[in-house]
Amino acid sequence: MRTDLFTDEHELFRESVRGFVEREVAPHVEEWEKVGRIDPKLWRTAGEQGLLGLGVPEEYGGGGTADYRFRCVIMEELARVGAASVNVALGGFDDLIGPYLVDLGTEEQKRRWLPGLCSGVKGAAIAMTEPGAGSDLRGIRTTAVRDGDDWILNGSKTFITGGSRADVIIVVARTDPDAGARGFTLLVVEGDMPGFTRGRALDKLGQRAEDVSELFFDDVRVPATHVLGTEGGGFGHLMERLPKERLSIAYYGLAAGEAALRWTIDYTKERHAFGKPVAEFQNSKFVLAEMATELDVTRAYLDRSVLALNAGELSAVDAAQAKWWATELQQRVINRCLQLHGGYGYMREYPIARAFVDARVQTIYGGTTEIMKEIVGRDLVK
């Protein structure tokens, strides 16, 4: 069941996005998954199509729209062809890095970094997670010490999406060990700064085409002009922007679940067992009905959440509810869809198999399901 979330303008944009996906993404997904990397040319092509930096003002090379529904269209079209890796690769800028630079950057910072990122000429990453600090960001040990007009940055980060090709990296560092949550600052590291090195590309279960890397900082001298936002305000800056990231993960989870259901309906109508299509068995119809209903109910909540984000009214609790529910539903739906594919569902040549492994990380990154429930529960009993 479609809702009235999208207007004619969004559907016109969808036609352009679908053409891009069918030409530049769908024919290459399998190869990119095998080699473990997306062709770097994709970012430039996406930039030329105006698919990067949708929310970045036009004067910095972006699309100049604050309407998140355009990004939702891109997620749906990528989910339709099972391109989860590409969604993470392209969405990392629009859902994560872009908002930080637009909201917190100085005029000089915006002009220095945004045009190259919106064009796809440069790549970006945000480095929060460390070997000993995942969902608990207060456990971050990467430090930055002031030295004249610079900060001296030391530490390491892991599980950094886009780390191997990033020219601009927003690093969360502890700048005052005695200030608690107010002791963190965001520093922008450029890829050619002495002392910055990239570690190995990590071997992941799913989303294999998108690189996830280790990053190391050994006495990296970062100019004070590269502080993003306010000194000591890093933790607050992160908390303010996490709802958008979590909604994006939730929305892709919904889109991926809807795509899996469509694939499965088509498959069970064509696949025969005991003399009739699998779709005609009562159990098949019941399972399909249950999944369709859960997805429709979830879409109603997420559509409302997208409109709340557009209006600047999406709360951290609303985003946490959306994130844990939609990603857990994604797991259930894709698991049941794979079951209805039978043995063929276990073969990677079928998109449901790749969707199965790609989905698993959805309940982990951006804050685990358990952390999301903690946020919601804490709000209920405060």
Instruction: Select from 3.40.640.10, 1.10.540.10, 1.10.3210.10, 3.40.50.300 the CATH code of 8-121.
Output: 1.10.540.10
- The CATH number given to 125-231 is 2.40.110.10
Q: pLDDT band at 215, cuts 50/70/90?
A: very high
The torsion of the CA quartet 299, 305, 306, 311, rounded to 10 degrees, works out to 150
* Kind plus residue range of the DSSP H or E element containing 296: helix 282-310
pLDDT 10s digits, 263-297:
999 999 999 999 999 999 999 999 999 999 999 99
Mean pLDDT computed over 364-368? 93
Structure tokens at 205: 């279960």
Please state the φ and ψ torsions of residue 175, each to the nearest 5 degrees: -110, -10
Which one of 245, 258, 270, 280 is the catalytic residue? 245
Instruction: Tell me, yes or no, if 240 is annotated catalytic.
Output: no
Share the mean pLDDT of the chain: 95
- Which is more confident, 247 or 3? 247
Mean pLDDT computed over 167-175? 97
**CATH 1.10.540.10 domain residues, the chain:** 8-121
pLDDT 10s digits, 123-144:
999 999 998 876 777 789 999 9
pLDDT 10s digits, 35-46:
999 999 999 999
What is the distance, to the nearest Å, from the Cα of residue 316 to the centroid of all Cα atoms in its chain?
17
- Predicted local confidence at residue 3, as pLDDT: 65
User: Does residue 1 have a pLDDT over 60?
Assistant: no
Q: Assess if CATH 3.40.50.300 describes domain 236-381.
A: no
CA 104 to CA 286: how far, in whole Å?
Answer: 50
CA 165 to CA 167: how far, in whole Å?
Answer: 6
- Predicted local confidence at residue 201, as pLDDT: 87
Q: Is 257 helix (H, G, I), strand (E, B) or coil?
A: helix
SS (H, E, C) 308-358: HHHCCCCCHHHHHHHHHHHHHHHHHHHHHHHHHHHHHHHCCCCHHHHHHHH
pLDDT 10s digits, 299-358:
999 999 999 999 999 999 999 999 999 999 999 999 999 999 999 999 998 999 999 999
**CATH 1.20.140.10 domain residues, the chain:** 236-381
pLDDT 10s digits, 66-124:
999 999 999 999 999 999 999 999 999 999 999 999 999 999 999 999 999 999 999 99
Q: Is 197 helix (H, G, I), strand (E, B) or coil?
A: strand
- Predicted local confidence at residue 139, as pLDDT: 83
Q: pLDDT band at 61, cuts 50/70/90?
A: very high
CA 326 to CA 251: how far, in whole Å?
Answer: 7
Residues, the chain: 382
For the chain, what percent of residues have pLDDT higher than 70?
A: 99
* Kind plus residue range of the DSSP H or E element containing 14: helix 8-20
Q: pLDDT band at 4, cuts 50/70/90?
A: confident
pLDDT 10s digits, 296-305:
999 999 999 9
User: Does residue 2 have a pLDDT over 90?
Assistant: no
Structure tokens at 212: 């996830």
Rounded to two decimals, the pTM is 0.95
Please state the φ and ψ torsions of residue 148, each to the nearest 5 degrees: 65, -120
